[in-house]
Amino acid sequence: MDSVAVTLRELLVEEVRHNPYPLYAQLHEHGQAAPFGPGERYAAAIFGYEAVDAALRDPVFRVLESEIADRDGTRWREHLVLRTLRDSLFNASGDDLLRLRRLFGQVFTARRVSAMEPVINRLTDRALDRLAAASAGGGPVDFMATFAVPLPADIIGEVIGVPDGDRAWFPTRVRAFDAVLELGERSFRVLRSADAAAEELVGYFTRLTAERRADPREDLISELVQLQGEDGAELSDQELLANLVIFFNAGFRTTANLLGSGLDLLLDHPDAMAALREKPELCPAYVEEMLRYEPPVHFMARYAAEDTEVDGVPVKKGEAVIILIGAANRDPRQFPDPDVFDPQRVDNRQLAFSAGPHFCLGAALGRTEGRLIFPRLLERFPNVSLAGEPRGRRQYFMRGFEQMPTLPEGAVPAFR
């Protein structure tokens, strides 16, 4: 490997935040991984497809467990957002991870996801009606606020058991909660806002689980409180509430970003959009390529449980690494012409859903949502177009547009 070092500053430059792919391409010229410079909080960046896939599966690289976090002090325990993350699947490992995946994974089996297709179609048609009503005056409509965010919130709300009328309350609080996971230093303002959001979210699910104990329904919350039993030996109250927060958050934000970035890609590639409109059965391959080309999550952090190395880069026990999933999905050694959006790409084993023990439990649901939603969207609005440049895609974690002005009825915009 050629000598190259990475700095966090490079990744956090505003221009790179909006478009990290040129930097990823430069990194790929030097191998699979690179060290961070002296004084950085991370020991290495892992960006090659082969090394990223291996690191995500390697038991040497661990999530942020309590004992690891405590090495830098225990003040993190004063923050509800950090305790909530620690009690969830997000930072579980070993037997705890296996137990939680078994309990929560039962709702995302292929059979149960398949049985949800009529519900997804019904909610999609309702969201399309909402989009049509919003555009009835002929002006631009924010695709994210009107369609891409509320639709997956409705879907995961149906799965978990969040009442219809409550779902619009979540997005603002979820964005504040998730901001604490973004790459870079956490400001006190971000942490305080995330704590406030965590308090509201945990409080909401505390009330909802109490209601389901008294009056069970056909939803995930009711199943889990019944499994929990009276002693909570299988699932503690803290774990139940933390995972409900995380499942709802991830369950709609990742799909919302897939819908926004996916539509933007289709509009940038009209031939591909026309082919999908003509043959909706092609959509699974389109969804995989959208996830490869613009994954909703670009990085994961891991910690070495022992001394190791990646592509010749040493990582000492206790040191942190950044695993750049977004870069791995553009590795030319794995994907020919990686910067070309090609829905016909073969052997598209993208890593947007991670790999190994923390492979996304909701992957089957997310894929199903994309497969069902895009064809219905294009059938209902065959001439949809952009009314302005989409704005706000600058995150590495939960990466997606904040606003996406569209003309659903297809009036030709002046800016393109």
Alpha-carbon gap, residue 361 to 195, rounded angstroms: 25
Strand partners, 310: 313
The amino acid occupying position 28 is H
**pLDDT tens track for 328-357:** 999 999 999 999 999 999 999 999 999 999
Q: Which has the minimum average pLDDT: 66-70, 93-97, 324-328?
A: 66-70
pLDDT over 70 for what percent of the chain?
96
Predicted local confidence at residue 3, as pLDDT: 62
Alpha-carbon gap, residue 225 to 375, rounded angstroms: 37
Q: Distance of CA 218 to CAs 17, 70, 166, 351, Å?
A: 42, 40, 18, 33
- The answer to whether residue 405 scores a pLDDT higher than 60 is yes
Question: What ranges do the domains of the chain cover?
Answer: 8-407
DSSP class per residue in 328-364:
HTT-TTTSSSTTS--TT-SS----TT--GGG--TTHH
- The answer to whether residue 46 scores a pLDDT higher than 90 is yes
- Residue 1: pLDDT band (50, 70, 90) is very low
Predicted local confidence at residue 2, as pLDDT: 57
- 413 neighbors 385 (Cβ within 8 angstroms): yes
**pLDDT tens track for 280-328:** 999 999 999 999 999 999 999 999 999 999 999 999 999 999 999 999 9
What mean pLDDT do residues 122-131 have? Answer: 97
DSSP class per residue in 44-76:
EEE-SHHHHHHHHH-TTEE---HHHHGGG-SGG
Compute and round to an integer the Cα radius of gyration of the chain: 21
What mean pLDDT do residues 217-235 have? Answer: 81
* C-beta neighbour count of 389 within 10 angstroms: 12
Q: Between 237-268 and 94-105, two packed helices, what is the crossing angle to 10 degrees?
A: 70
**pLDDT tens track for 370-392:** 999 999 999 999 999 999 999 99
Q: How high is the mean pLDDT of the chain? A: 93
Say how many residues make up the chain: 416
**Topology (CATH) of 8-407:** Cytochrome p450 (1.10.630)
Predicted local confidence at residue 4, as pLDDT: 79
Query: CB-based contacts of 103: which residues, under 8 Å, 6+ apart?
Result: 224, 227, 234, 235
- 266 neighbors 370 (Cβ within 8 angstroms): no
Q: Full-prediction pTM beyond 0.85? A: yes
The amino acid occupying position 154 is D
